């Protein structure tokens, strides 16, 4: 979560709600969400690593999936929103606070499918974080279980669009308990681009700002993401005991190519 300037009220719960407004889970109309949804519906049990507000699992449950579900995330406010929006007692989902490297310990084992959506894999910046997370996800899966995730391809240089001019978004945050909607502005600003100490991709630092329409700052946040190249990523997967079942450069399952903006991976234990 970001820092709130003194005297300006923008809570962690507001931030979680804003995430859902900016990133609605809509597999019927979004190609990325549509890639994951059939895989989730076909799996007997699903672990969503970095689940955020839980939209992936909540929709699958609402559409009739009756299997075992667990969502793991370090963001307490996002998990509170997930719990508040979840189906009733007959559709329980285990919402677990913790980091990806503790997936098997906190959520158990024997899952048919593990997912990591929304480019959450890029939050694993160091080699140790990548190895520990892949090891934990591998341990959480049953034999033959699959880990499906995506990471932005560094060749597309997505960070070049992370500037106030290109990233400025206007949105209305829905009111809670009868309060009126709040108009907001959100934008990103690139801070640094560098190679990680051990090589293998690019590490990008950027700042995020949430403000009123006139630019009055409500919250400041900072993030660090790693953009792994396919070769380095696949070496990490191999080291964790995964076999790559499929790897794609777009959500239509096209091959990795010089124009690919994504690295979408289906890895099998």
Q: What is the pLDDT of residues 115-152, one digit of tens each?
A: 999 999 999 999 999 999 999 999 999 999 999 999 99
For residue range 88-113, what is the model confidence (pLDDT) as tens digits?
555 689 999 999 999 999 999 999 99
- Is the pLDDT score of 202 beyond 50? yes
d(CA 143, CA 174): 44
Q: Residue 198: its pLDDT value, please?
A: 86
- Is the pLDDT score of 2 beyond 70? no
Selection from 174, 189, 182, 188 nearest residue 212 by Cα: 182
The segment(s) of the chain belonging to CATH 3.40.50.150 are: 23-153+228-268
CATH match of 23-153+228-268 with 3.20.20.80: no
pLDDT classification of 6: cutoffs 50, 70, 90: very low
């Amino acid at each position: 979560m970001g820092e709130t300037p003194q005297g300006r009220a923008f809570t962690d719960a507001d931030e979680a709600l804003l995430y859902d407004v900016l990133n609605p889970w809509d597999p019927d109309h979004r190609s990325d969400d549509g890639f994951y949804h059939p895989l989730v519906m076909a799996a007997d049990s699903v672990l969503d690593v970095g689940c955020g507000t839980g939209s992936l699992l909540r929709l699958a449950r609402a559409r009739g999936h009756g299997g075992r579900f667990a969502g793991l995330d370090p963001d307490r406010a996002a998990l509170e929103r997930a719990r508040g929006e979840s189906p009733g007692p007959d559709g329980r989902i285990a919402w677990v606070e913790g980091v990806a490297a503790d997936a098997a310990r906190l959520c158990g084992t024997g899952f048919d499918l593990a997912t990591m959506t929304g480019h959450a894999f890029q939050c694993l910046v160091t080699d140790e974080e990548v190895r520990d997370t892949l090891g934990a996800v591998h341990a959480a899966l049953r034999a033959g279980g699959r880990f499906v995730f995506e990471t932005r391809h560094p060749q597309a240089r997505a960070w070049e669009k992370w500037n106030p001019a290109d990233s400025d978004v206007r949105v209305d945050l829905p009111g809670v308990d009868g309060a009126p909607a709040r108009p907001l502005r959100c934008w990103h600003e690139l801070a640094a681009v560098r190679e990680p100490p051990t090589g293998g991709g690019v590490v990008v630092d950027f700042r995020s700002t949430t403000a009123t329409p006139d630019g009055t700052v409500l919250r400041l946040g900072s993030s660090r993401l790693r953009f792994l190249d396919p070769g380095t990523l696949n070496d990490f997967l191999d080291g964790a005991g995964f076999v790559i079942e499929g790897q794609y450069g777009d959500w239509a399952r096209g091959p990795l190519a010089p124009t690919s903006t994504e690295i979408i991976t289906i890895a099998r234990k």
